[in-house]
Amino acid sequence: MFSSRRQARIVLVLLVLGAVLAAVFSGASYSSSSSSADASASGASSPWLRRLRRSVLSEGSLVAALPAWAHLTASFLLARQAPIVVLRQGTLLGTIRDDDDFPQPLEAFLGVPYALPPTGERRFARPEPVKSSSRKIDASQYGLRCVAGSLDGNDWGEDCLTANIFRPTGTRTGQKLPVVVYFHGGAFNLGAGRFHNTAALLAWSEKPFIALNFNYRLGAFGFLSGELMAASNMLNVGLYDQLMLLKWVQQNIEQFGGDPNQVTIMGLSAGAHSIGHQIMHTKKGGRPLFHRALLESGATTARAVYPPDAPLPSVQFDEFALASGCSNVDRGQMISCLRKQSVRTVGQASIDVFNRYNPSDRWAFQPVIDGRIIRVAPISDWESGTWNKVPILTGFNTDEGSPFTPTRLDTSEEFTKFFKELIPALSESDLEELNKLYPDPAVDRESPYYDDSSHRRWFAVQAWNSSIRPTAYHASAGQSASVFLYHWAVNTTVKGGASHADQAAYELYNPGIRKISKTQNLLAGYLHAYFTSFVTTGDPNAIKGRYADRPRWAPFTLEAKSGTMVIGEGNDERAGGDSIGVVARMGNISYTKEECDFWWKRTILSES
Q: Which domain holds residue 592?
A: 381-607
Q: Tell me, yes or no, whether 322 and 446 share the same domain.
A: no
Distance CA 139, CA 513 (A): 31
Distance CA 513, CA 502 (A): 11
Give the CA diameter of the chain.
98
Please report which residue ranges of 438-502 form alpha helices under DSSP H: 455-468, 470-478
> Would you say residue 423 lies in a domain?
yes
> Would you say residue 462 lies in a domain?
yes
Q: Tell me, yes or no, whether 63 and 208 share the same domain.
A: no
Q: Are strands 210-214 and 392-397 parallel, antiparallel or unpaired?
A: unpaired
Q: Tell me, yes or no, whether 63 and 185 share the same domain.
A: no
Q: What would the pLDDT profile of 348-382 be if each residue is shown by its tens digit?
A: 999 999 999 886 668 999 999 999 999 998 888 88
Q: Tell me, yes or no, whether 108 and 247 share the same domain.
A: yes
Indicate the residue among 22, 57, 81 that finishes a domain: 81
pLDDT at 72: 40
Q: Tell me, yes or no, whether 262 and 388 share the same domain.
A: no
pLDDT at 358: 83
> Would you say residue 195 lies in a domain?
yes
Which of 183, 170, 172, 169 is closest to 263 using CA atoms? 183
Among 70-74, 153-157, 385-389, 503-507, which stretch is predicted with the lowest mean pLDDT? 70-74
Q: Average pLDDT for residues 217-223, to the nearest whole number?
A: 99
In the chain, what is the straight-line distance between the N-terminal and C-terminal CA atoms, in Å? 87
Q: What would the pLDDT profile of 292-351 be if each residue is shown by its tens digit?
A: 999 998 888 887 799 999 999 999 999 999 999 999 999 999 999 999 999 999 999 999
Angle, helices 68-81/47-57, rounded to nearest 10 degrees: 110
The CATH number of the domain where 601 resides is what?
A: 3.40.50.1820
Q: Tell me, yes or no, whether 62 and 110 share the same domain.
A: no
State how far Cα 533 lies from the chain centre: 17
Indicate the residue among 46, 81, 116 that finishes a domain: 81
Q: What would the pLDDT profile of 206-215 be if each residue is shown by its tens digit?
A: 999 999 999 9
Distance CA 13, CA 535 (A): 44
> Would you say residue 422 lies in a domain?
yes
State how far Cα 607 lies from the chain centre: 24
State how far Cα 58 lies from the chain centre: 28
Angle, helices 4-19/47-57, rounded to nearest 10 degrees: 110
Indicate the residue among 81, 107, 138 that finishes a domain: 81
- One-letter amino acid identity for 502? D
Do the beta carbons of residue 491 and residue 497 sit within 8 Å? yes
Please state the domain count of the chain. 3
> Would you say residue 277 lies in a domain?
no
27: helix, strand or coil? helix
Which residues on neighbouring strands pair with residue 165, listed in sequence order? Answer: 109, 212
> Would you say residue 421 lies in a domain?
yes
Which of 215, 213, 214, 220 is closest to 236 using CA atoms? 220
Q: Average pLDDT for residues 33-54, to the nearest whole number?
A: 40
Q: Tell me, yes or no, whether 342 and 436 share the same domain.
A: no
Among 4-18, 147-161, 200-214, 223-237, which stretch is predicted with the lowest mean pLDDT? 4-18
Distance CA 410, CA 415 (A): 7
Q: Tell me, yes or no, whether 264 and 165 share the same domain.
A: yes
Do the beta carbons of residue 164 and residue 110 sit within 8 Å? yes
The pTM assigned to this predicted structure is: 0.84
Among 182-196, 395-409, 463-477, 578-592, which stretch is predicted with the lowest mean pLDDT? 395-409
DSSP state of 594: H
pLDDT at 463: 54
> Would you say residue 481 lies in a domain?
yes
Out of 269, 274, 402, 499, the active site residue is 269
Q: Tell me, yes or no, whether 111 and 72 share the same domain.
A: no
Do the beta carbons of residue 241 and residue 127 sit within 8 Å? yes
| CA distance readout (Å), 127 to 130, 144, 222, 245 | 9, 17, 10, 10
Q: Tell me, yes or no, whether 162 and 234 share the same domain.
A: yes
Q: Tell me, yes or no, whether 34 and 134 share the same domain.
A: no
Is 269 catalytic? The answer is yes
Total length of the chain: 608
Q: Tell me, yes or no, whether 409 and 495 share the same domain.
A: yes
Do the beta carbons of residue 328 and residue 322 sit within 8 Å? no
Q: What would the pLDDT profile of 519-568 be if each residue is shown by its tens digit?
A: 999 999 999 999 999 999 999 999 999 999 999 999 998 877 668 999 99
> Would you say residue 551 lies in a domain?
yes
